[in-house]
């Protein structure tokens, strides 16, 4: 086959992927960028070019800044504990092959449950008067908080529900990563005088570092984009305490029909996530070991 | 330096018995090679000595101290793994320093010991490299260095040369021999390669299905194999075996069922002074330069003759096969050697 034919075949094979990516990712992203420069609503009743004024309105909006801080708060409360907890659970399961099979399924079950069902379950658990969580707290003689109704507790409560939902997904990645750590290395470290914690710290964790980075990046991105749990558990409340950037965007796009402003928010969210991920990669550069 | 003793050590994984009962004493400063075919339990024995496997029964002693229940780090042993097991995220320096840091030694002593080992194994130029930047032979030396830097009482090697090419294997083999000469440490060396065992060890212990067949100096084991298994395992090419009933003109001890003779003692001619084994067609000729291995089919038996240089025999030639009476080994039905005078 000639070089020219090879080239055509290459493009032909790439076409389905390029088409899907182009139609459903690149074009909508460019469309958002374009629409963010207009005062535009979803019913097409007006479309006026306004330049960067959608962005300046966002930057001058205290509500938007609050949603930004709420988002960071939510990401910190969700992604960090989720990664640490998943690593801990995976390490315990990895060390106990007998329970690994069944517990892996148990931890993975919430991932398979739909967000709506999971949120309903947590609504029952968080109910301040009849919820099981407060029942346990009160059995110790304390008063349980109004989990979803108290602005102070709403983010941790939604974060806990999100962690529970996503934990199994992260555990699976860590289990796969742990399975690829050569037994020889752990045995060599044990012979070199390292105890189990030192083996984990000095051998397992550095070798697992690419998986830790991957899971961290995915968890942060998922937390930034979290919507289902917030929508069902708190509807962004109380008093905007759980109105994240995505939830604010949803309200402007689908309740207030401010498509131009919502598009600008989508672009800002994209930039924030891009910066966040870049910071993670920069931080990880000298700490992640690729074999 | 320390002595080692396996006292009736056995190991089973579920119902699968790997080592039925090993009794072996290794003197202080001795270099002992555990040899045997794949799956014979030699690595399991080494891992039990290291503390990486717990014996199902029996006791293990290092310098008369029962270490059976003691954790690997407190046994005073170091191990060179088949895969080298170098920490890929650490430099050579950090690999060497790791066991010393775990032992909480001071920075000056760590530096001193690393420099000493690096000089001994010619690693000084490699200290800042990571394992991925090293050749197979260099990795092997770093693995040895990491094992030596702790100044262990017993040094364990688990098939350390099996990942090296033939040329490098010879070189590293001589480095290990020189190392033992220098440090005089007790070494237990597992290999399936009898050449390594013969050339390096003071004593070789041959294992078969987890049982010790024979332990002794290499030439003694070669010259006086206690069992047919040892006779077939030690020596390259392996010893030839024929049924005792096919031999005539030689006194065969009672109870003998099989007679063995080494390929280098096999003559492809017949004369009155030699014991005639039979005659057969040449099925394969393997020229190796200084010697040639000639494979023949004599009756139901396969015979290998080792000739010097490049002899004239060709595939399909019909040749007489003979040997000296003094080169014969006699074995009974259980595979045990029978004395020629019996």
CATH number at residue A73: 1.10.3720.10
Q: Is B102 part of the contact surface with chain A (CB cutoff 8 Å)?
A: yes
Of B73, B82, B83, the CB nearest to A191: B73
Parent domain of A238: 52-284
Query: Per-residue pLDDT for B263 more than 90?
Result: yes
Q: Token pair of B202, please?
A: 């003071």
Least CB-CB distance to B88: which of A193, A202, A291? A291
Q: Are B55 and A168 in contact (CB under 8 A)?
A: no
Residues forming beta bridges with residue B187, ordered by sequence position: B31, B155
* CA of B112 vs chain A CAs: smallest distance (Å): 18
Answer yes or no: do B52 and A191 touch at CB < 8 A.
yes
pLDDT at B285 over 70: yes
Residue A207 has pLDDT above 70, yes or no: yes
Residues of B in contact with A192 (CB under 8 A): 73, 78, 98-99, 102, 146, 150
Average pLDDT on B233-241 reads: 91
Number of domains in chain A: 1
Sign, Cα dihedral of B269, B271, B274, B275: positive
Chain B closest-CA separation from residue A110 CA (Å):
35
Two structure tokens written together for B226 = 């206690």
Give residue A171's pLDDT. 94
Is B122's pLDDT higher than 70?
yes
Distances in whole angstroms, Cα of residue A138 to Cα of each of A129, A141, A193, B69, B107: 10, 5, 47, 48, 54
Q: Tell me the whole-structure pTM to 2 decimals.
A: 0.83
Q: Cβ of B14 under 8 Å from any chain A Cβ?
A: no
Cβ-Cβ contacts under 8 Å, A194 against chain B = 73, 98, 102
Q: In this complex, is the C-beta atom of B79 within 8 Å of any C-beta atom belonging to chain A?
A: yes
Answer whether residue A277 is part of any domain.
yes
Measuring CA to CA, which residue among A268, A250, A252 is closest to residue A260?
A252
Is B103 at the interface with chain A, CB within 8 A? Answer: yes
Nearest to B87 by CA among B146, B43, B46, B47: B146
The answer to whether A191 contacts B89, with C-beta atoms less than 8 Å apart, is no
Contacts of A187 in chain B (CB under 8 A): 50, 52, 72, 79, 81, 85
Asked whether the beta carbons of residue A207 and residue B89 sit closer than 8 angstroms, the reply is: yes
Looking at residue B251, the DSSP 8-state letter turns out to be P
Instruction: Check CB contact of B72 with chain A, cutoff 8 Å.
Output: yes
Greatest mean pLDDT among A96-100, B180-184, B227-231, B234-238 lies in: B227-231
pLDDT band at A46 (very low <50, low <70, confident <90, very high): confident
C-beta atoms of A191 and B103 within 8 A: no
- Would you say residue B179 has pLDDT above 90? no
Predicted confidence band at B342 (pLDDT cuts at 50, 70, 90)?
low
- Report CB contact under 8 Å: A194, B102: yes
> Is the model's pLDDT at B268 over the cut of 90?
no
CA distance B65 to B68: 9
Q: Which residues of B touch A206 (CB under 8 A)?
A: 87, 89
* B98 touching A (Cβ < 8 Å): yes
Residue A1 has pLDDT above 70, yes or no: no
A67-89: average pLDDT = 95
CB contact under 8 A, B88 and A189: no
What are the pLDDT digits (tens) for B6-55? 999 999 998 899 999 999 999 999 999 999 998 899 999 999 999 999 99
For chain B positions 143-172, those within 8 Å of chain A (CB to CB) are 146, 150
Using an 8 Å CB-CB cutoff, list chain B residues near A202.
87, 98
Cβ-Cβ contacts under 8 Å between A and B: the total is: 63
Burial label for B315, CB within 10 Å (0-12, 13-18, 19+), is exposed
Tell me whether residue A45 is in a domain: no
Residues A130-140, mean pLDDT to the nearest whole number: 92
8 Å CB contact of B72 and A182: no
| Min Cα separation B125/chain A (Å) | 23
**A229-247 exposure pattern, b = at least 16 Cβ within 10 A, e = fewer:** bbbbbbebbbebbbbbbbb
Q: Give a yes or no: residue A98 inside a domain.
A: yes
Average pLDDT on B119-143 reads 92
Among B81, B103, B132, the residue with its CB nearest the CB of A188 is: B81
At residue B49, the pLDDT reads 96
The C-alpha atoms of residue A249 and residue A230 are separated, in whole angstroms, by 13
Selected residue of A98, A191, A210, A285 to mutate for chain B interface (largest B Cβ count, 10 A): A191
What is the chain A residue with the closest CA to B78? Answer: A191
B72, B88, B103: residue with CB nearest A190: B72
In a domain, A259, yes or no: yes
- A192–B99 C-beta distance less than 8 A: yes
Residue B70 at interface with chain A, using a CB cutoff of 8 Å? no
pLDDT greater than 90 at residue A40:
no
Q: Say if A194 is an interface residue toward chain B (CB within 8 Å).
A: yes
Each residue's pLDDT tens digit, B43-67: 999 999 999 999 999 999 999 899 9
- Whether residue A291 lies inside any domain: the answer is no
Check whether A113 has a pLDDT greater than 80: yes
Q: At a CB cut-off of 8 Å and minimum separation 6, what does B170 contact?
A: none
CA-nearest residue to B143 within chain A is A188
Residue in B with minimal Cα distance to A194: B102
A178, A258 contact by CB (below 8 A): no
A211 within domain boundaries: yes
User: For the segment A214-254, what is each residue's pLDDT rounded down to a tens digit?
Assistant: 999 999 999 999 999 899 999 987 988 999 999 999 999 99
Cβ-based contacts of B79 with chain A (< 8 Å): 187-188, 191
Asked if A207 has any chain B CB less than 8 Å from its own CB, the reply is: yes
Crossing angle for the helix pair B107-120 and B136-148, nearest 10 degrees?
130
Contact state of B85 with A202 under an 8 Å Cβ cutoff? no
Out of B88, B99, B102, the one facing A289 most closely (by C-beta) is B88
Pairwise CB contact (< 8 Å): A191 & B79: yes
State the complex-level ipTM. 0.85
């Amino acid at each position: 086959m000639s070089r020219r034919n090879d080239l055509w075949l290459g493009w032909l094979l790439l076409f389905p992927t390029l088409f899907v990516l182009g139609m459903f990712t690149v074009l909508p992203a460019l469309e958002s960028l374009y629409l963010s420069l207009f005062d535009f609503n979803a019913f097409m009743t007006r479309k006026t070019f306004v330049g960067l004024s959608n962005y300046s309105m966002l930057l001058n909006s205290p509500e938007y800044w609050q949603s930004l801080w709420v988002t960071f708060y939510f990401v910190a409360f969700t992604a960090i504990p989720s990664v640490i907890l998943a690593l801990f659970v995976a390490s315990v399961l990895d060390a106990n092959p007998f329970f690994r099979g069944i517990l892996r399924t148990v931890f993975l079950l919430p991932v398979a449950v739909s967000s709506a069902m999971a949120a309903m379950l947590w609504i029952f658990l968080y109910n301040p008067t009849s919820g099981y969580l407060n029942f346990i707290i009160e059995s110790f003689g304390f008063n349980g908080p109004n989990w979803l109704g108290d602005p102070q507790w709403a983010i941790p409560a939604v974060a806990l529900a999100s962690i529970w939902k996503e934990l199994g997904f992260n555990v699976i990645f860590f289990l796969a990563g742990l399975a690829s750590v050569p037994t020889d290395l752990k045995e060599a470290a044990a012979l070199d005088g390292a105890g189990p914690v030192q083996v984990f710290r000095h051998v397992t964790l550095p070798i697992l570092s690419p998986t830790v980075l991957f899971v961290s990046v995915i968890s942060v991105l998922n937390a930034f984009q979290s919507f289902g749990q917030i929508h069902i558990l708190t509807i962004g409340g109380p008093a905007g305490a759980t109105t994240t950037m995505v939830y604010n965007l949803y309200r402007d796009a689908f309740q207030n029909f401010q498509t131009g402003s919502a598009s600008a928010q989508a672009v800002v969210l994209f930039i924030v996530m891009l910066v966040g991920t870049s910071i993670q990669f920069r931080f990880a550069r000298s700490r992640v070991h690729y074999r | 330096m320390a002595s080692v003793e396996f006292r009736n050590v056995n190991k089973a994984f579920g119902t699968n018995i790997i080592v039925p009962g090993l009794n072996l004493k290794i003197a202080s400063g001795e270099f002992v090679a555990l040899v045997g075919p794949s799956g014979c339990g030699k690595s399991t024995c080494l891992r039990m000595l290291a503390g990486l496997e717990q014996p199902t029964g029996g006791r293990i002693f290092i310098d008369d101290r029962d270490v059976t229940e003691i954790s690997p780090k407190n046994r005073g042993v170091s191990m060179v793994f088949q895969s080298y097991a170098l920490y890929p995220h650490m430099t050579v320096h950090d690999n060497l320093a790791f066991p010393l840091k775990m032992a909480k030694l001071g920075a000056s002593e760590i530096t001193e010991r690393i420099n000493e080992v690096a000089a001994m194994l010619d690693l000084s130029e490699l200290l800042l490299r990571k394992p991925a930047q090293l050749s197979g032979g260099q990795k092997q030396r770093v693995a040895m260095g990491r094992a030596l830097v702790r100044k262990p009482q017993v040094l364990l090697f688990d098939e350390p040369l099996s990942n090296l090419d033939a040329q490098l294997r010879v070189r590293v083999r001589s480095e290990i021999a020189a190392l033992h000469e220098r440090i005089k440490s007790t070494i237990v060396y597992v290999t399936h390669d009898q050449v390594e065992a013969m050339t390096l060890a003071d004593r070789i212990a041959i294992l078969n299905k987890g049982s010790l067949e024979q332990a002794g100096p290499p030439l003694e084991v070669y010259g006086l194999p206690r069992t047919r298994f040892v006779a077939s395992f030690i020596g390259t090419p392996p010893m030839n075996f024929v049924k005792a009933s096919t031999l005539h003109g030689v006194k065969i001890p009672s109870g003998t069922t099989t007679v063995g003779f080494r390929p280098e003692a096999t003559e492809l001619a017949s004369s009155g002074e030699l014991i005639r084994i039979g005659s057969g067609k040449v099925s394969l000729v393997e020229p190796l330069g200084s010697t040639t291995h000639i494979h023949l089919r004599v009756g139901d038996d396969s015979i290998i003759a080792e000739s010097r240089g490049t002899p004239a025999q060709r595939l399909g030639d019909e040749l007489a096969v003979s040997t000296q009476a003094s080169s014969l080994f006699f074995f009974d039905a259980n595979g045990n050697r029978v004395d020629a005078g019996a």
